[in-house]
Every structure is written in C-alpha cells, then in structure tokens.
Amino acid sequence: MRAVVWTGHLHFGLVVMPVSLFAAARPESTRFKRIHRRKKPVGRALPEPLSYLHTGQHEATSPGSQYPLSRAQESTGMETYDSNGASGNTEYEYSAVRQVLQSGVTGEEVRPEELVKGYEYGPDQFAIIDPGAIDRAAVETSDTIDLFHFVKGDEVDPIYFERSYYMAPEAGGEKAYALLLEAMRKDGYFGIARIGMHKREHMVILRPTENCMVAHTMFYVNEVRRVPEFEVDRSLINERELRVARALMEGYAGVFEPEKFKDIYQERIKNIIHEELSRAPQDTPAAPVRPEAMVPDLMESIRMSLAQIESQKGSRQPKPIRKSATPASSPKKKKQKVLA
C-alpha cells in the first residue's frame, strides 16, 4: 500500500485538481545495532539473549547454551586463560547500549533538561536561539501546490532533483490530471511549482512520464555544489579519435533496464546474516523473517493450493450431478474444505 505524504490540490491558473503525493523511491540498507559484549561472570544467571539486528534476529548460540556466541567462538572455541594459567571456553553475555551525552569541557553527563539550541559562530562561541523563534520560522504545510511556470525539460539539470514523489489524482481530478499530463508530455515541458511541506517551502519540478506525473523537490542554487574549477581542452581531440570513441560507445549502447542492477554489498551482507543464523541450534525459536523472504514460500503455497483445487475439480467432473433438498449447501462445504 502506498504511503501518502501529502494530500491537497494542484492550482494551475483557474484549474484546480485534487492530488496526493507519495514517495517514489527510498534507500534500503541492512541496519546493525551496537551491542555490549562482556565475559559471563561465573555463577551468575544471564537474562534472555538480546537481538543484535533491528529485525529481532539472534546470533548463533553455543551447543547446550541459549546465550549468543560469535562466529569466531563457535568455530574455534576461543580458549582463554585465567590468572593461574588454566584454559577454558569463554562465555559472553550481551546487552543493549545507550548513548550518554557528556560535556565537552568537564566530561560530566548532561541531562536532557539542560540542553538548549545554539549556533556556533566561532570556536567555542555560541549564540543561544529560542526554540519558539525556530518554531515561528517554520513554514506551515500548505494544502495547495501552486504551479506557476513551465520550462523545457531539456533545460533542467537533474542535479537539482532532491526527492521524488509520484503525484496521483484524487477522485474528481482524473480528467484535468490526464489533460495536463498529456499536454506537458507532448510539448516537452516541466512544471515549476511551490509547496509548503516538512516545515519549509519547497520548489517542486513536475516532470511528466508516460503514465503519471512525478514531483521532484528541488535543491536551491546555494545548495548545489559548484563544478570543480577546471576546463576541458577540446583542442586535444581530433575528429578521427572522436569517431572511434563514438563507435566504441555505440558498441556498448543498450536499453536502460534498472532491474538488472543489484546492490552487491547488500546481497553479501544478507548472505552473511543468513549464514550466521543457519549456525544456530535447531531447537532455538525461529527468528522473525523479513517479508521478502516469505514471498517465495507464499507463492509456492498458492500454487500448491491451486493445483489441489484443479485436481479435485478434475476428480469431480465424471460424477453425475445429484439433486438434493439443499443443493447450495454441499458445494459450499466442499469449497470450505479446499480452502482449509
């Protein structure tokens, strides 16, 4: 289900259409938590093991123990020596950690009520700012997108695109939306609009695609880093070399297919996690599985269910239809058995 981040109206002259914005893309990464590991005190009962992933997955455990064990320990035993030189296997206990704010001068812990907001205008020189003044400076979220300008799409440098949102029509705005989309698409225009959202005013670039409008919040000029100061000396290039370079480029030309590009690093991280989880004893509680990992099993279950229904339909076809006092009740019971 799409997550709508804004709902309101698009204003273009006297044309008003209800629209909504929802995120078009978001980064994905595997998150880890920092965990405190220390040697298990002798004779001390340990609490339930804590997860080291935000998904609730647990580290592998040692045989006969419910407490997490690192891969290095599990593979080598990690022998340690006490003060008398006797060797033995080290067991660890794990706990979550919290960050403590400390004074940069005294090193003392700072309580939340002692915090204020300030701007450092010089080394260790601060201007303390009233939080109320900051709140008053915030821009209220508007209920309209004001479309006030059109530019040719090939004049817009994509470097100004910040975040991308799909702009979808709401009930009653479908025809106006389709008309504006088609007109912009055929003439190669992008729209420039403004919107109040997330406590600030955003300039928005409306870009038509084949089937919908995409809204890009725009970086302001002062937010875009300047091109490094160097000049390309085109006098170094001759026509023959340019033809060869263009021919080489044509040899590698193809269709843009983003589904073929994979995040190799994230795939390797997931493999490491799955390998670590596979080392856990079989009698431990199953770790929560991500939704994407459940999709293949779900699809297989659906296929098996459909195959079962088809086989039962085939087995019922040769049988003659029997009349009964309640003809609708029997098929319903059979259908319930199939779904169960």
What is the pLDDT at residue 258?
A: 86
Does residue 69 register a pLDDT over 50? no
Q: Are 33 and 14 in contact (CB under 8 A)?
A: no
What is the pLDDT at residue 314?
A: 64
Does residue 152 register a pLDDT over 90? yes
Cα radius of gyration rounded to whole Å, the chain: 32
What is the pLDDT at residue 214?
A: 97
Ranges 36-40, 157-161, 323-327: which has the least confidence: 323-327
CB within 8 Å of 89: residues ≥ 6 apart:
62, 73, 77, 78, 79, 80
Q: DSSP code of 195?
A: E
pTM of the entire structure? 0.60
Does residue 326 register a pLDDT over 90? no
What is the pLDDT at residue 327?
A: 46
Alpha-carbon span 201 to 204, nearest angstrom: 10
Ranges 40-54, 130-144, 269-283, 307-321: which has the least confidence: 40-54
18 vs 86 pLDDT, higher one: 18
Q: Residues 109-124: what's their mean pLDDT?
A: 91
Does residue 61 register a pLDDT over 50? no
Does residue 291 register a pLDDT over 80? no
Tell me whether strands 15-23 and 4-12 are parallel, antiparallel or unpaired: antiparallel
Does residue 286 register a pLDDT over 60? no
What is the pLDDT at residue 109?
A: 92
| Token duo for residue 74 | 């599990």
| Residue carrying structure tokens 């590698």 | 252
- Of the chain, the percentage scoring pLDDT greater than 90 comes to 35
The pLDDT tens digits for 170-225 are 999 999 999 999 999 999 999 999 999 888 999 999 999 999 999 999 999 999 98
Beta strands in the chain (DSSP E): 4-12, 15-23, 35-39, 79-81, 87-89, 92-96, 117-122, 125-129, 144-152, 161-169, 189-197, 200-208, 213-218
